Amino acid sequence: MESTVKFISKPRLKEPALIEGLPGMGYVGKLAAEHLAEELHAKKFAELYSPHFPHHVAIEPGGVLRLVKNDFYHASSNGKDIIIVVGDAQAVTPEGHHEVVEKILDVAEQFGVKQLFTLGGYATGRYSKTKPKVVGVFSSPELIEEYKKYDITIERGGGPIIGASGLLLGRGKLRGMSGLCLLGETHGMVVDHRSAKVVLEVLNNILGIKVDMTHLEHRAKETERMLERIRKEMELRARRERRREEEEAWYIG
Amino acid sequence: MESTVKFISKPRLKEPALIEGLPGMGYVGKLAAEHLAEELHAKKFAELYSPHFPHHVAIEPGGVLRLVKNDFYHASSNGKDIIIVVGDAQAVTPEGHHEVVEKILDVAEQFGVKQLFTLGGYATGRYSKTKPKVVGVFSSPELIEEYKKYDITIERGGGPIIGASGLLLGRGKLRGMSGLCLLGETHGMVVDHRSAKVVLEVLNNILGIKVDMTHLEHRAKETERMLERIRKEMELRARRERRREEEEAWYIG
Amino acid sequence: MESTVKFISKPRLKEPALIEGLPGMGYVGKLAAEHLAEELHAKKFAELYSPHFPHHVAIEPGGVLRLVKNDFYHASSNGKDIIIVVGDAQAVTPEGHHEVVEKILDVAEQFGVKQLFTLGGYATGRYSKTKPKVVGVFSSPELIEEYKKYDITIERGGGPIIGASGLLLGRGKLRGMSGLCLLGETHGMVVDHRSAKVVLEVLNNILGIKVDMTHLEHRAKETERMLERIRKEMELRARRERRREEEEAWYIG
Amino acid sequence: MESTVKFISKPRLKEPALIEGLPGMGYVGKLAAEHLAEELHAKKFAELYSPHFPHHVAIEPGGVLRLVKNDFYHASSNGKDIIIVVGDAQAVTPEGHHEVVEKILDVAEQFGVKQLFTLGGYATGRYSKTKPKVVGVFSSPELIEEYKKYDITIERGGGPIIGASGLLLGRGKLRGMSGLCLLGETHGMVVDHRSAKVVLEVLNNILGIKVDMTHLEHRAKETERMLERIRKEMELRARRERRREEEEAWYIG
């Protein structure tokens, strides 16, 4: 059984860039892409359903259910057409991930997409007081030159990118699409609007898009307060743990 | 390898409603749907076999085995035709769930089904002394108005519905079928005839069906006694656990 | 990717019975079927390869490897043709189990098989001093009458049968084949030649086959000694465990 | 969704031998095959992409990502054409393993491969001070005679070989290819250049290939130092563990 794309409309777009933000680390990519879609009053034109998504349905406020899915929106800003892919879930198996990504790329190809921007987070396991870094990962070396003027950290080496954000770029490259993955630094245990905000700022700079960030900034402040609380609790717990270990060491040793 | 539907007969039905009750939380849906099928002397007309069902066979009293399967029954009550789907199992993988649900919907479509009613339980982890609630989940907002006159709790928000009860409605909607999922409040660790009874009462009210509930009421009483026993045991265990923790705290602290 | 059957020859068989003994509980079925094949000088005529078998190769003495597979043998005894299915492994997923079983049934159908006999063990977790029981499970109620004259325990109810032994009968019935599953009582933690011997004795009685059991009897004696040792060790361990628990109870209480 | 092979060129090769070294125990096979490809200035001519590979992308130094893949190289030494298969990953499911191996064999067949050499490690869980052994596993008994003159240990019996190294030989044999698997003795917890070196030496002797081993020897020395450190740490830990057990025994007993 295959994933299927159901079209609501077939917009005419001029070489649109595709921006992806699906659930992942800290929900950074999803939050950023959803904010962008909202502020640009993007219009949904297709839905992707997959047997590789979890076998449950989401329940919306009011008790109405819907299938877990990925949505395609289109918008225009500054004369630039974009497609935004957001959604509830990613596939549950490696094979499912590969298949869903191919379906997204089929849509991208159909609308003449040449550029992919995928958004996500990378977990550090701690709360950084300073502005979160945005790490850029590129589908080919030439792009580094093009994008290094933006506020992007170019990581030398590093672990793999798991899920759609990486696979879209990897498989998109086989179809001749260039790609940039923007990963916001994030704690990893918290839905992180603060990191989403900095990721979106970088993306907007690149695409020359201007959107109101007020709502995201407001939520980012909440995230900061929550992270501050978690930091304190973890310190406390670590102190207790240390004390217990010392006592045990004394007891055994 | 695909799931297959084996027809025993092809009944002529007039826009039947489809009612699903497969094994799940507290066996609530299965018990309710089976009771309904039995009391209406419903007739089996098809069997669904799937490679996505567990790889074992069930053994019936007397030592006769049979493949794990889902069964389609038809019945008529008050001039209303219905199809009842019951069975031994649900699929074991997300992909399998999606496929089996599509096969059930293929049959539904073939017989002109426009309305889906799926039955299940939602676990609370505790025994409620009062009559269990029945939560309604809807395939579209218009239906809330239609069904809110029945004894249904309309949950604002809440977790996902896992398995066939949710997927049937979600995927059925893509085929133009309206759907209502009735979830009976249940402990979660016990086969719950009591919850099945209240779920079936709501369904019968909606469909204008009258069936003898004596057998289910009798079993519901047994369930209550069992739950009362479990409640007491858990209290006892919790008390013991608390005492042990206090002692350890004294020892370590 | 599908399982494939590679034929070595296409023997002409007269309505053969198919006997299956693949690895499972206590290796009872495999040992019984292999002994039968050996003593009847059965001839291999086909091999089944499957992507659903484990992704390793077996290494034979001498350092020669081979793919994990299932083998089809044919033999004749007392004018009765039989096909024997033995092998290294069963599938690793539920879907794989269903597919491999269908492939075996394709071969069975091709050679006109009407009767299936599947052999296996059922674990009791303990060593019985008396002769192990052989439980019979039937593909339809009529067969009980036919087979109850043999030394078979007809279980009233009981847990499911996992794997090929059950699925072959369940899916074979859909193709009009009758089936009997013979399960030998076994400890569960030990390769059990003793149980294999009693299972094979019942099968031979049913089919009117006479084979030399000396080798299996010899190995059965070894199994008995091993089980006796395990029984003693477990008693010892249980006693120690009890003592430790009493001491802790004293300490905490 | 199937694995796909993307050709960069179609070299003309004369009955090449195929050498495989993918990630596995101690990375022995991968290290040996990569060293060989490098020293022979082998040229990449095809890439294998698979939905059965892990759903992540690798990030190369400099922040450029690429899909996880297997690569086909060709080279020539001493008039002998060879194909070398190296890569980032093996499949993540048994079914995936079988499929990827079939794709590799499709390429092999297309270029007229008759001989397969697969390289890997077998874990012993300890550091051997003497030169690691190289165990040979053969696709058929005739080959033992042919290869026993080389410095190969011919294991009598032993556990299965997991993954591509075994499956390639097992499935290759069904296509009429002969095969030798060379497994270097390795600790199992360490990337082992030392074992890779001895495996490659045996392979080179067999194929009559001469390559500079300096780089591998240098890294092998590092491996030895690392293993020596691990050995010491484990001894220390074992001593501590023993002491703790003695104390507990004293306390409980």
Confidence (pLDDT) at C230:
79
Contact A55, B102 (CB under 8 A): no
D157 to C65: CB separation less than 8 angstroms, yes or no: no
The whole-chain average pLDDT of chain C stands at 91
Query: What is the structure's pLDDT at B133?
Result: 93
CB contacts under 8 A, D 64-123 vs A, are 64-68, 92-93, 96
Structure tokens at C150: 């043999």
Give percent helix, percent strand, percent coil of chain C, each to the nearest 5: 40, 25, 30
Q: B161–A53: do the CB atoms touch at under 8 Å?
A: no
Query: Is A62's CB within 8 Å of B141's CB?
Result: yes
- Residue A62 structure tokens: 């009011």
Residue D34 has pLDDT above 70, yes or no: yes
Q: Given this model, what pLDDT does residue D141 score?
A: 92
- Minimal C-alpha gap between B3 and chain C (Å): 10
Single out the residue of B168, B14, B20 nearest to residue B105, CA to CA. Answer: B168
Contacts of C218 (CB under 8 A, 6+ apart): none
CA-based nearest distance A176→chain D, Å: 13
- Residue B130 Cα to chain centre, angstroms: 21
B51 interfacial to chain A (CB closer than 8 Å): no
- Indicate if the pLDDT at residue A126 is higher than 90: no
Instruction: Report pLDDT digits (tens) over D225-253.
Output: 887 887 788 788 888 878 776 766 555 44
Please give the average per-residue pLDDT across C120-147, as a whole number: 90
> If 0-12 CB within 10 Å is exposed, 13-18 middle and 19+ buried, where does residue D125 land?
exposed
User: Do B189 and B233 contact (CB within 8 A), yes or no?
Assistant: no
pLDDT one-digit tens code per residue, A175-203: 999 999 999 999 888 899 999 999 999 99
What span, in angstroms and rounded, lies between the C-alpha atoms of D187 and A220?
49
Q: Residue A55: is its pLDDT beyond 80?
A: yes
pLDDT higher than threshold 50 for residue A253: no
- Chain D residue numbers touching C96 (CB-CB < 8 A): 95
Give yes or no for D240 touching A (CB within 8 A). no
Q: Which H helix or E strand runs over B159?
A: none
Contact C32, C215 (CB under 8 A): no
Q: Is C75 helix (H, G, I), strand (E, B) or coil?
A: strand
Any idea how long chain D is? 253
Please tell me whether residue D253 adopts helix, strand or coil conformation.
coil
| Contact: C95, B65; criterion CB under 8 Å | no
Sorted by sequence, the CB contacts under 8 Å of residue C158 that are 6+ apart come out as: B59, B63, C135
- Nearest 5°: the CA angle C18, C24, C25 is 125
Q: Is pLDDT of D155 > 80? A: no
Residue C165 CA: distances (Å) to CA of B42, C18, C118, C125: 32, 12, 5, 20
Q: What is the pTM of this model?
A: 0.87
Q: Does B63 contact C144 at a Cβ distance shorter than 8 Å?
A: yes
Six token digits for residue B240: 């013991």
Distance (Å) of CA B27 to CA B190, B217, C88, D193, D226: 8, 16, 38, 57, 57
pLDDT at residue D87 greater than cutoff 60: yes
What confidence tier does A4 reach under pLDDT thresholds 50, 70, 90?
very high
- Whether B192 has a pLDDT exceeding 70, the answer reads yes
Q: Please tell me the predicted confidence (pLDDT) of residue D103.
A: 98
Residue A182 near residue D86 (C-beta atoms within 8 A) = no
Confidence label for B188 from pLDDT (cuts 50, 70 and 90): confident
Is the predicted pLDDT of residue B251 greater than 60, yes or no?
A: no
Label residue B206 by pLDDT band (50, 70, 90): very high
Query: Is the predicted pLDDT of residue C12 greater than 70, yes or no?
Result: yes
Query: Phi first, then psi: what are they for C219, rounded to 5°?
Result: -70, -35
Quick one: chain B helix, strand, coil %, rounded to 5? 40, 25, 35
Contact list in C for residue D173 (CB cut-off 8 A) is 66-67
**Which class in CATH covers the domain with range D4-252?**
alpha beta
- Where do the domains of chain A lie? 4-252
Instruction: Closest CB to C63: pick one of D94, D138, D166.
Output: D138
E-strand spans in chain C? 4-7, 17-21, 43-49, 56-60, 64-67, 70-77, 80-87, 115-123, 134-138, 153-154, 161-162, 178-186
User: Virtual CA dihedral for B55, B60, B65, B71, nearest 10 degrees?
Assistant: -70
Strand partners, A108: none
Whether the CB of A174 is below 8 Å from some CB of chain D: the reply is yes
Only one residue has tokens 């009874």, namely B197
ipTM for the assembly: 0.85
Convert the pLDDT of each residue in D203-212 to its tens digit.
999 999 999 9
Q: What is the mean pLDDT of residues D174-191?
A: 92
Interface test with C, best of B56, B93, B250 (most C CBs within 10 A): B56
**Which are the contacts of C216, defined by CB distance < 8 A and separation ≥ 6?**
C31, C35, C193, C196, C197, C200
C253: pLDDT confidence band, cut at 50, 70 and 90?
very low
Is residue B222 pLDDT above 90, yes or no? no
**Which pair of structure tokens corresponds to residue C242?**
């009890």
Average pLDDT for D14-22: 97
Q: Is the per-residue pLDDT at B253 higher than 50?
A: no
Residue of C nearest to B55 (CA): C94
What is the phi-psi region of residue B176: left when phi exceeds 0, alpha when psi lies from -120 to 50, beta otherwise? left
Structure tokens at B62: 């007397």
